[in-house]
């Protein structure tokens, strides 16, 4: 059931344009505004209370699945949860616009959408397009897949909650620094999945060249997950770059990440056939 739900969700997300209402952030932000207005007492503004209030929707979905205890409901909720957690339609639109602008030599539009992609990825404005695409692909697909396989719908939605909350606190326009623990929580949540994603890049890319980099960064406990992926992806890519082509590098690394996604879906399929994953 895990594999089928994953394949259906990925297919729907790829084939159809997703509305704003099919994004976990849409519901999480409304829940935050509603709960903040209803629970205005000072005790609900503490860090532990804010944390519990933020993860409550994901926990509610898990509780609902347990109470209903129905295979069909679990299956449908799993597809919906994956779609809500994976959805990255704004990034896809920005990337397509970036490619069109680059092909016609519109540098101003390229820079505009480069900043949009880096902002959507939760990275600095000067981040390259290929790094933004790698990080978006990891956070919206691979990490969600890993947590869904391990913990079901709750795992996928909890990771999406951590991702959204960490992006909100890193937003330069945010004036609230009282919840700075979200980035640290996301760092721990990414620790194992990022290393697995790096291993997947070895398999689908230039293995012998990327392996020493992966071993070195994986064996360093405090290495940043995004730095690990950027370094491994850079070494795993085995396509010559044309110096005048602004899109080739980003396109090649995005294809590398997509091949890795197929690799992990195949791994999940093998685990499903062996009975390790239901």
CB 169 within 8 A of CB 151: no
Please report how many Cα atoms fall inside a 13 Å half-sphere around the Cα of residue 228, on the Cβ side. Answer: 28
Tokens of 57: 């929707």
pLDDT along the chain (278 residues), means of 10: 92 84 90 81 72 92 91 93 91 90 86 90 85 94 95 96 89 54 92 95 92 93 92 82 70 90 94 82
Range(s) of the domain holding residue 250? 2-274
Sequence-ordered list of residues with C-beta below 8 angstroms from that of 179, at least 6 positions apart, any chain? 47, 50, 51, 165, 169
User: What local confidence, expressed as pLDDT, does residue 172 receive?
Assistant: 57
User: What local confidence, expressed as pLDDT, does residue 177 receive?
Assistant: 46
Q: Nearest-CA neighbor of 186 among 117, 232, 220, 138?
A: 138
User: What local confidence, expressed as pLDDT, does residue 41 receive?
Assistant: 65
Our count of domains for the chain comes to 1
Sequence-ordered list of residues with C-beta below 8 angstroms from that of 46, at least 6 positions apart, any chain? none
User: What local confidence, expressed as pLDDT, does residue 110 receive?
Assistant: 87
């Amino acid at each position: 059931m895990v594999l089928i739900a994953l394949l259906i969700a990925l297919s729907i997300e790829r084939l159809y344009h997703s509305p704003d209402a099919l994004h976990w952030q849409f519901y999480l932000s409304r829940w935050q505004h509603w709960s903040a207005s209803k629970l205005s007492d000072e005790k609900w503004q503490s860090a532990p209370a804010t944390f519990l209030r933020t993860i409550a929707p994901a926990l509610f979905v898990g509780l609902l699945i347990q109470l209903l205890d129905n295979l069909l409901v679990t299956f449908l909720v799993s597809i919906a949860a994956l779609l809500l957690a994976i959805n990255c339609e704004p990034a896809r639109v920005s990337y397509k616009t970036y490619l069109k602008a680059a092909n016609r030599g519109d540098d101003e539009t390229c820079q505009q959408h480069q900043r949009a992609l880096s902002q959507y990825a939760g990275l600095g404005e000067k981040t390259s397009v290929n790094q933004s695409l790698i990080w978006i692909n990891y956070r919206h697909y691979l990490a969600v897949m890993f947590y869904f396989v391990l913990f079901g719908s709750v795992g996928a939605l909890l990771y999406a909650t951590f991702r959204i909350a960490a992006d909100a606190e890193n937003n330069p326009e945010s004036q609230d620094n009282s919840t700075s623990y979200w980035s640290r929580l996301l760092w721990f949540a990414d620790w194992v999945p990022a290393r697995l994603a790096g291993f997947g890049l070895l398999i689908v890319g230039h293995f012998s060249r990327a392996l020493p980099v992966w071993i070195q960064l994986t064996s360093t406990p405090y290495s940043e997950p995004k730095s690990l992926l950027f370094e491994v992806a850079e070494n795993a890519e085995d396509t010559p770059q044309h110096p005048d082509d602004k899109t080739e590098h980003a396109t090649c690394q995005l294809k590398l990440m997509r091949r890795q996604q197929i690799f992990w879906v195949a791994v999940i399929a093998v685990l499903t056939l062996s009975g390790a994953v239901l």
